[in-house]
Amino acid sequence: MDSRQQFLKTVNHRQSDRVVIDMGSTGVTGIHVLAVEKLRNYFGLEKRPVRVTEPYQMLGEVDPELQQAIGIDVVGAWGKNNMFGIYNQAPFKPFKTFWGQEVLVPENFNTTLDAKGDLLVYPEGDTTVPASAKMPQSGYFFDAIIRQPPIDEEKLDPADNLEEFGLVSADDLDFWATATRNARATGKAVIASLGGTALGDIALVPGLQLKHPKGIRDVAEWYMSTVIRPDYIQTVFDRQADIAIENFRRLYEVIGDNIDAVFICGTDFGTQESTFCSPEQFDELWLPYYRRINDWVHLHTPWKTFKHSCGAVETFMGRFIAAGFDIINPVQINARGMDPALLKKRYGKELVFWGGGVDTQKTLPYASPGEVRGEVLRLCEIFSKDGGFVFNTVHNIQANVPVENLVAMIDALKEFNNQ
């Protein structure tokens, strides 16, 4: 139970005995299947195909063997279906990737090749409807295919953008009860991605799991709509928040304290240099609905709430706090204004930094192992003071990171933790 105890210390801003480590618990703190295979080979674990846990980004399962080898403290409770609406549990089948790796995918993960030889995947695995995502031959993950019908301003209906947000079913409640109970039995801290709370997450807007998505489903059109159709967006968020809270009420009855944190939203507000919207627009369009969801969670459950946002969002940190978030991820330390020492000093008493342990754009893939070690040690020293830090990289570990650098990162963590 030491992993969970250390986690609870750090998320409650008390000094833990060591840095808490997460790799693989969510869709934004994961490891690409190819990197998982490299690590398994390095640690001498059984040679077998890696299961794909999240196919959109081709993230791989970090199973108990690999968790132990790395020293991981946090596990995830994942939903019954994946982002394509395909049942994501056993039975699995082998699948050969473009890069030559054999992996395991769900039985109904059905694909075809287009005229260029790129890989197409289908909502619910139904190949009789248009494909919803494509992986180029040279790629390592999928890109959404925009299937938005022509916009008719007179017929725009916010209900069309709520099609995927419904009340949780009895079967889903049973699934989550079992999934979270099993996760809790590991003795590690547990974060659950319960779904339904992502307000305008651009990865979800295209409706990858929907056979015939309606409403505003084009990424560019959605971004424009936040400016030219704010009433439409607010109507979607308002109804979505109501549904989410009712679902949380039902889920809490079967989950209880079997989870420690809940993934609320992955909407990105930052680019490498600035934010996508003004602070005032955030306050009007997102903050009230985030606050409503987070307030319900804090009033009725012991769960901590997790917010993902890439980019230069230092100017939004106070707003994330005002919105009621406990945790911010991934802490993109290489974006403008995202200085680790400044972030820790200004916001470290109120926000848990989950991520930011090593730069995944330059250091982890391209630096030397010695440079990786130095950066990990430096950032752990800054972020771990007085608790409030869960180690993870800046977003998911990508496919072609040298295994020597991954090992240098893991060894540096063990060094910092005196293990």
Q: What does the pLDDT average to over 33-37?
A: 98
- Decide: pTM greater than 0.95: yes
Chain-centroid distance of CA 357 in Å reads: 16
Rounded distance, CA 259 to CA 340, Å?
28
Residue 419 is predicted with a pLDDT of 85
Residue 356: C-alpha distances to residues 288, 322, 335, 412 (Å): 27, 22, 11, 15
List pLDDT tens digits, range 108-161.
999 999 999 999 999 999 999 999 999 999 999 999 999 998 999 999 999 999
Residue 408 is predicted with a pLDDT of 98
What are the backbone angles phi and psi of residue 168, rounded to the nearest 5°? Answer: -65, 140
List pLDDT tens digits, range 279-331.
999 999 999 999 999 999 999 999 999 999 999 999 999 999 999 999 999 99
List pLDDT tens digits, range 53-89.
999 999 999 999 999 999 999 999 999 999 999 999 9
Structure tokens at 9: 């210390």
Q: What does the pLDDT average to over 33-48?
A: 98
Whether a cis peptide bond, with omega within 30° of 0, leads into 213 is: no
List pLDDT tens digits, range 343-365.
999 999 999 999 999 999 999 99
Rounded distance, CA 267 to CA 115, Å?
33
Q: Is residue 97's pLDDT more than 90?
A: yes
Residue length of the chain:
419
Listed residue (248, 236, 109, 264) closest to 164, CA to CA: 236
Confidence of residue 1 (pLDDT cuts 50, 70, 90): low
Q: Is residue 43's pLDDT more than 80?
A: yes
Could you tell me which residues are beta bridge partners of residue 262?
192, 305
Rounded distance, CA 267 to CA 282, Å?
12
Q: Is residue 396's pLDDT more than 90?
A: yes
What are the backbone angles phi and psi of residue 365, rounded to the nearest 5°? Answer: -80, -25
Helix (H, G, I), strand (E, B) or coil at 302: coil
Helix (H, G, I), strand (E, B) or coil at 392: coil
Note the CATH number of domain 2-30+66-88+148-416. Answer: 3.20.20.210
Rounded distance, CA 142 to CA 371, Å?
31
Rounded distance, CA 335 to CA 349, Å?
22
Rounded distance, CA 59 to CA 57, Å?
6
Rounded distance, CA 54 to CA 33, Å?
10
Which sign does the torsion angle of CA 192, 193, 199, 203 carry? positive
- The mean pLDDT of the chain is 97
